[in-house]
C-alpha cells in the first residue's frame, strides 16, 4: 500500500495533496498521531503521521528544519495535517520542506475523523500481516508432518519446490557439492550480489544474486535468493531459490523462513547421527590400528564393515597438528575444523580411505591395489600444499608420517611405524614436515627397541658421564659438531662470544681427549647426542 | 573414458601450461587432434569438451590432446599467440620423447576463440615452415578480430544484467591465468561484450587488423570443416560463410538455430550429429 492508494480511501476522498508529490509511491506500514515533536522516540519507517498542527505551531523556521530532517531520516511516508480554528492555511515553509524531502503532505478539513483514517489504513496492513502469519503457520504444519516421514534431502527440496513453485538447490560449500530440483541450474556465473532488505517476520539473512545459468541451453540470465543455513557446528550449507520466472513475494519468504528452520533441524539431526557413527567408527579403527583384534576373521569383518577390503595393500598416514604460537588463544573450534578440512581433502582425493580422529591427530588408512603406487612424500606434499594455499594452516604446523606398504594383518605394524616416525618428527623438526617411515634410516634401529633403557647401551659410558657432569659443555660440543666445527656459527647459535666457544672446545678436548679429525670418534658423539634426544623425548612422552 | 595423462610445459615467459592427453586404445590411427577451448580468450578451460565427443574421436582411433593457453586480459594477445605456438611446437618436437606417440600427423581443432587460435596457429606454422596440420576443425570460429560486431556493444549480452566494475576487479589476477572456469570468469566476457570492449581487452592499443587473417593467407590453408549456427548471437554466421568461400578445400555444416555453442548440451541431437559428421569428413580427407 502506498500514498496513491490511501488517497482513494473514502475517508480521504476529496482531500488535497499539497506537497511532496514525488513521494506518492512511498510504502505505508502504519499510522500514528503526532501530539509533540518528540518523534524520534516513537516514529517508525513507513508510518503516516496525523497531526492537527497544534504540536508544530510554535516552532521557528530552524526548528522546523530539524524536525523535518528527523521525519526524513526515520523514513516517514507522509504527513496528514488537519486544518482547524488554529491554522487555516499551511505555512509555505512546511510545504517547501515536504517537497524537499519527498514527504507527501495531505491537508484534511476539521470534520474528517482521525479514527476513520486510522481504521482504513490499518485494516489492510493487519490483514496482510495476518495472511503472512497464516501462511507461516500453514507451511509450518506441512513441514512438521513431512519431518515425520524421515525424507531424504532430495525429497525435502522437492516439497519446497511445490510450496514455492520455483526450483531450489542446496549447496554444501565445504564439500563443493550441490543438490537441486533442477540440476541444469547448478552451474552459474554470478554477475552481481546485493542484500535483500528484511521484511516483516523475516529473520535470516538473504542475498540476491544476479546470475547467468551456464547449464541451460541457451544460457539464461536470472536472479536467485541465497540464504546461509545457520548450523550448530559448521556453516557449510546454503539454500538457493531460483527466482524464475519472477521475484518472490512476502508470502514466499514465509515458506523460505520455514524451510531454513526445517533444514536447520534436519542438518542437526544428520549431524548427531553422523557424530554417533563417527565415534563408533573411531573405536573400531582404533582397535584395528592398535592390534586389539586377535583373529584374522575379526580383522576381515572390520575391514569389510569399513569398506576397505577390496584391495590387497594398506598404508597408514598420520597427520598431527601443533600450534605455531602456543601462547595464542586460537578458539577451541579451530583445531577440529582444520582436521575436518584435511579429512575432506583426503577423502575426496582417494577412493578407499578411512580415518580415525583424536584431539590433534587424524590417522588415515588407505587401501590400494597392486597397480597403484603407494603414497610417498611428494604426493602427500601436493595435497598439503593445496590446503596451505587455501590458508588452512595459519595457526598450525603439521607433521605427516607415512608408513610403508603393508597387507591387512600388518596394519598395526604400519601404525607403530607412523607413531615412531612421529616421535622423530617431534624431536628433530620444528615446522611443516612430511616423513615416510622408510626414510627414517638409522633411527629405525633405535626406535625398534622396546625400552628406552635399551638405548643407553649404544652410548659409550665415557660420553654419558661427560654429559652428566658437564651438560653445558656437551651442548657446546653437539652444536660445534652440528655446524661442521664452525666456531662463529656455534657462537651465534649459543649466543656466546667466539672466544668462549674456543675456550670451551679446548677444555672439552682435554677432558674427553677427542681427536676432532677422527670421524669414528665424532660419529660416536653425534649418535649419542641423537640418542639422548630420543631418550629424553621418550621420557616426556611417557 | 579413462582419466587423461597430464603434461606440463613452461613457456619462455615462464607461464606454466598443462595439456591433457587421451590415448586412443583401439584401431589407432596415430593421428592427434589438438584441441583449443573457447571462451573469447578471456575464460575457459582445456577440459571443457564433453566426454562423449572426446570418446567419439578416441573410438575413431584419434588421440586427443587438449591444450592450455594464457588468458586475457592478464596476458595480451601477442603473448597468448606466442605461448600457444610454443606449446604446439613443443608437442611437435617431443611427441615421441615426452608424449610417447608416433603421431607425425595431426589436426587442429578449436571451438569459438579456440578455432580462432587454430587459424592463427596455422598461419604461424606456414610462416615458420613447420609441419602443417592435415586438417582444421572450426566450431563457430572466426579469423578476424576487426569485425564491427566484435567491437560494438552486443545486444544479446545487453539483455543480461549489467556487470558492476567491482566484481570485475575481483576476477582479474596479478599473474598470468591459464585455467579460467566459466563460473569464475564468464562475467569478464559478458561485460566486455556488453560494452563492446572485448577486442580492446585482447589487443590493447594495437590494431586488431594485425591479428586478423586476410583472404590471401586463408587460401593456403589445409582442408577445413566449419560448423556454425545461423542465428549465433556471439559470432555472426556470415563470418563462417566467408571462411567457407575463402578456404579452398572447406566444408560447412549449418545449424539452423539461435545458439552459439550449440554442442554444449549433450542431450541435443545436433551436437551428436555434428561430431559424427566431422569424424566422417576426417576419414574422407585424411
Contacting A with CB below 8 Å, chain B residues are 159-164, 167, 182-187, 190, 258-260, 262, 264-265, 268
Q: What are the C-alpha distances in Å from A219 to residues A212, A391, B231? A: 7, 34, 14
Residue A337, classified by CB atoms within 10 Å of its CB into exposed (0-12), middle (13-18) or buried (19+), is middle
Query: Per residue in A47-91, pLDDT tens?
Result: 999 988 777 888 899 999 999 999 999 999 999 988 876 677 888
CB–CB contact A217 B265 (8 Å):
yes
Does the pTM surpass 0.90? The reply is: no
Q: Do B182 and A214 touch (CB under 8 A)?
A: yes
* Facing residue for A221 by CB, picked from B160, B184, B262: B160
DSSP B231: T
A215 to chain B: nearest residue by CA?
B265
β-sheet bridge partners, residue A17: A106
CB contact (8 A) between residue A187 and residue B183: yes
pLDDT, average across residues A334-347: 89
Instruction: Give the tens place of pLDDT for each residue, A186-243.
Output: 888 888 888 887 777 788 899 999 898 988 877 888 899 999 998 877 778 999 999 8
Between A294 and B234, the higher pLDDT residue: B234
Q: Which of B159, B190, B268 sits opposite A191 (nearest CB)?
A: B190
Q: What is the pLDDT of residue A523?
A: 86
Residue of B nearest to A191 (CA): B163
**Looking at the partner chain, which of B167, B262, B265 has a beta carbon nearest the beta carbon of A191?**
B167
Q: What are the start-end ranges of the E strands in chain B? A: 5-10, 16-22, 31-36, 63-67, 105-111, 135-139, 224-229, 250-255
Q: Residues A140-173: pLDDT tens digits?
A: 888 888 888 888 889 999 999 988 889 999 998 8
What pLDDT score was predicted for residue A540? Answer: 46
Residue ranges of chain A whose CB lies within 8 Å of a chain B CB? 187-193, 210, 212, 214, 217-218, 221, 223
- Cβ neighbours of residue B5 closer than 8 Å, sequence gap 6 or more: B20, B21, B23
- Please name the residue that has the C-alpha cell 511445490: A162
- What ipTM is given for this predicted complex? 0.71
Which residue's C-alpha cell is 658437564? Answer: A470
Count contacts between A and B (CB, < 8 Å): 46
Angstroms from B137 CA to nearest CA on chain A: 23
* Cα angle B19, B21, B25; round to 5: 175
Distance from CA of B196 to the nearest CA of A (A): 17
Chain B nearest CA to A338, separation (Å): 26
* Cα–Cα dist A406/A355, whole Å: 17
DSSP strand pairing (B31-36 vs B63-67): parallel
* Mean pLDDT of all residues in A130-138: 85
B183/A188 CB distance under 8 A: yes
Task: Give residue A82's Cα distance to chain centre.
Answer: 56
- Determine whether the interchain pair A212/B190 forms a contact, defined as Cβ–Cβ distance below 8 Å: yes
Q: How far apart are CA A66 and CA A45, in angstroms?
A: 17
DSSP letter for each residue of A338-403: HHHHHHHHHHHH-SSEEEEE-SSEEEEEEEE-TTSPPP-HHHHHHHHHHHHHTTTTSSEEEEEEE-
- Where on the phi/psi map is residue A365: left (φ > 0), alpha (ψ -120 to 50), or beta? beta
Give pLDDT tens digits for B86-133. Answer: 999 999 999 999 999 999 899 999 999 999 999 999 999 999 999 999
Between CA A459 and CA A283 the distance in angstroms is: 40
Residue A271's Cβ-count burial label (10 Å; 0-12, 13-18, 19+) is middle
Rounded to a whole number of angstroms, the distance from the CA of A192 to the nearest CA of chain B is 6
Whole-Å CA distances, A375 to A316, A368, A397, A441: 10, 10, 21, 18
* Nearest residue of chain B to residue A194 (CA atoms): B164
Instruction: Identify the band that residue B3 occupies on the pLDDT scale cut at 50, 70 and 90.
Output: confident
Amino acid at each position: 500500500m502506498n500514498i496513491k492508494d490511501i488517497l482513494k480511501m473514502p475517508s480521504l476522498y476529496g482531500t488535497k495533496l499539497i506537497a511532496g508529490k514525488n513521494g506518492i509511491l512511498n510504502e505505508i506500514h502504519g499510522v500514528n498521531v503526532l501530539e509533540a515533536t518528540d518523534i524520534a522516540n516513537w516514529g517508525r519507517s513507513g508510518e503516516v503521521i496525523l497531526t492537527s498542527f497544534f504540536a508544530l505551531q510554535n516552532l521557528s523556521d530552524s526548528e522546523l528544519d530539524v524536525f523535518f530532517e528527523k521525519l526524513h531520516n526515520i523514513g516517514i511516508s507522509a504527513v496528514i495535517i488537519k486544518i482547524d480554528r488554529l491554522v487555516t492555511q499551511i505555512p509555505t515553509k512546511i510545504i517547501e520542506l515536504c517537497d524537499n524531502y519527498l514527504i507527501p503532505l495531505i491537508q484534511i478539513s476539521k470534520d474528517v475523523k482521525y479514527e476513520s483514517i486510522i481504521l482504513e489504513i490499518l485494516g489492510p496492513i493487519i490483514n496482510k500481516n495476518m495472511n503472512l502469519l497464516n501462511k507461516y503457520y500453514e507451511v509450518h504444519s506441512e513441514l512438521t508432518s513431512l519431518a515425520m516421514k524421515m525424507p531424504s534431502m532430495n525429497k525435502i527440496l522437492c516439497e519446497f519446490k511445490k510450496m514455492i513453485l520455483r526450483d531450489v538447490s542446496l549447496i554444501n560449500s565445504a564439500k563443493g557439492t550441490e543438490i537441486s530440483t533442477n540440476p541444469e541450474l547448478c552451474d552459474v556465473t554470478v554477475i552481481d550480489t546485493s542484500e535483500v532488505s528484511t521484511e516483516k517476520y523475516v529473520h535470516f539473512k538473504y542475498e540476491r544474486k544476479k546470475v547467468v545459468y551456464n547449464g541451460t541451453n541457451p544460457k539464461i540470465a536470472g536472479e536467485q535468493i541465497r540464504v546461509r543455513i545457520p548450523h550448530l557446528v559448521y556453516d557449510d550449507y546454503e539454500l538457493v531459490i531460483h527466482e524464475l520466472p519472477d521475484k518472490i513475494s512476502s508470502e514466499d519468504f514465509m515458506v523460505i523462513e520455514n524451510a531454513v528452520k526445517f533444514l536447520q533441524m534436519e542438518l542437526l539431526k544428520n549431524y548427531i547421527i553422523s557424530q554417533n557413527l563417527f565415534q563408533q567408527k573411531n573405536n573400531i579403527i582404533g582397535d584395528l590400528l592398535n592390534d586389539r583384534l586377535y583373529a584374522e576373521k575379526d580383522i576381515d569383518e572390520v575391514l569389510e564393515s569399513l569398506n576397505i577390503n577390496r584391495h590387497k595393500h594398506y598404508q597408514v598416514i598420520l597427520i598431527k597438528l601443533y600450534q605455531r604460537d602456543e601462547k595464542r588463544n586460537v578458539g577451541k573450534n579451530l583445531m577440529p575444523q582444520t582436521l575436518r578440512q584435511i579429512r575432506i581433502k583426503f577423502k575426496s582425493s582417494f577412493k578407499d580411505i578411512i580415518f580415525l580422529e583424536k584431539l590433534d591427530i587424524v590417522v588415515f588408512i588407505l587401501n590400494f591395489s597392486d597397480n597403484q603406487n603407494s603414497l610417498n612424500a611428494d604426493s602427500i606434499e601436493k595435497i598439503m600444499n593445496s590446503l596451505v594455499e587455501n590458508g588452512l594452516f595459519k595457526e598450525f604446523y603439521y607433521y605427516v608420517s607415512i608408513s610403508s606398504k603393508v597387507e591387512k594383518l600388518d596394519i598395526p605394524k604400519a601404525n607403530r611405524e607412523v607413531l615412531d616416525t612421529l616421535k622423530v618428527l617431534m624431536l628433530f623438526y620444528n615446522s611443516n614436515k612430511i616423513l615416510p617411515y622408510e626414510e627414517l634410516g638409522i633411527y629405525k634401529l633405535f626406535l625398534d627397541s622396546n625400552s628406552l633403557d635399551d638405548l643407553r647401551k649404544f652410548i659409550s659410558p665415557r660420553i654419558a658421564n661427560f654429559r652428566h657432569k658437564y651438560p653445558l659443555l656437551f651442548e657446546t660440543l653437539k652444536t660445534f659438531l652440528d655446524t661442521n666445527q664452525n666456531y662463529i656459527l656455534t657462537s651465534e647459535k649459543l649466543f656466546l662470544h667466539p672466544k668462549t666457544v674456543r675456550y670451551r672446545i679446548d677444555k672439552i678436548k682435554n677432558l674427553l681427549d677427542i681427536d676432532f679429525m677422527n670421524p669414528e670418534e665424532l660419529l660416536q658423539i653425534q649418535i649419542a647426542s641423537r640418542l639422548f634426544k630420543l631418550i629424553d623425548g621418550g621420557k616426556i612422552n611417557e | 573414458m579413462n582419466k587423461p595423462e597430464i603434461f606440463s610445459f613452461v613457456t619462455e615467459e615462464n607461464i606454466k601450461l598443462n595439456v591433457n592427453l587421451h590415448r586412443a586404445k583401439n584401431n589407432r590411427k596415430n593421428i592427434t587432434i589438438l584441441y583449443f577451448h573457447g571462451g573469447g580468450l578471456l575464460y575457459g578451460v582445456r577440459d571443457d569438451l564433453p566426454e562423449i565427443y572426446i570418446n567419439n574421436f578416441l573410438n575413431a582411433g584419434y588421440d586427443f590432446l587438449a591444450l592450455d593457453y594464457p588468458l586475457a586480459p592478464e596476458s595480451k594477445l601477442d603473448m597468448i599467440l606466442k605461448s600457444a605456438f610454443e606449446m604446439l611446437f613443443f608437442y611437435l618436437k617431443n611427441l615421441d620423447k615426452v608424449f610417447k606417440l608416433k603421431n607425425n600427423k595431426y589436426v587442429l581443432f578449436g571451438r569459438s576463440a579456440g578455432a580462432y587460435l587454430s587459424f592463427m596457429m596455422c598461419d604461424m606454422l606456414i610462416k615458420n615452415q613447420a609441419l602443417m596440420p592435415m586438417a582444421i576443425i572450426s566450431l563457430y570460429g572466426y579469423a578476424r578480430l576487426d569485425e564491427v560486431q566484435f567491437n560494438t556493444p552486443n545486444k544479446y549480452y545487453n539483455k543480461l544484467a549489467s556487470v558492476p566494475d567491482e566484481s570485475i576487479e575481483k576476477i582479474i589476477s596479478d599473474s598470468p591465468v591459464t585455467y579460467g572456469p566459466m563460473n569464475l570468469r564468464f562475467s569478464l566476457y559478458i561485460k566486455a561484450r556488453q560494452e563492446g570492449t572485448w577486442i580492446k581487452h585482447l589487443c590493447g592499443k594495437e590494431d586488431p587488423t594485425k591479428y586478423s587473417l586476410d583472404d590471401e593467407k586463408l587460401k593456403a590453408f589445409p582442408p577445413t570443416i566449419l560448423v556454425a549456427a545461423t542465428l549465433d548471437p556471439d559470432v555472426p554466421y556470415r563470418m563462417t560463410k566467408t571462411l567457407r568461400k575463402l578456404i579452398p578445400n572447406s566444408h560447412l555444416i549449418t545449424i539452423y538455430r539461435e545458439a552459439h555453442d550449440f554442442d554444449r548440451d549433450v542431450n541435443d541431437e545436433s551436437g551428436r550429429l555434428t561430431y559424427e559428421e566431422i569424424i566422417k569428413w576426417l576419414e574422407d580427407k585424411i
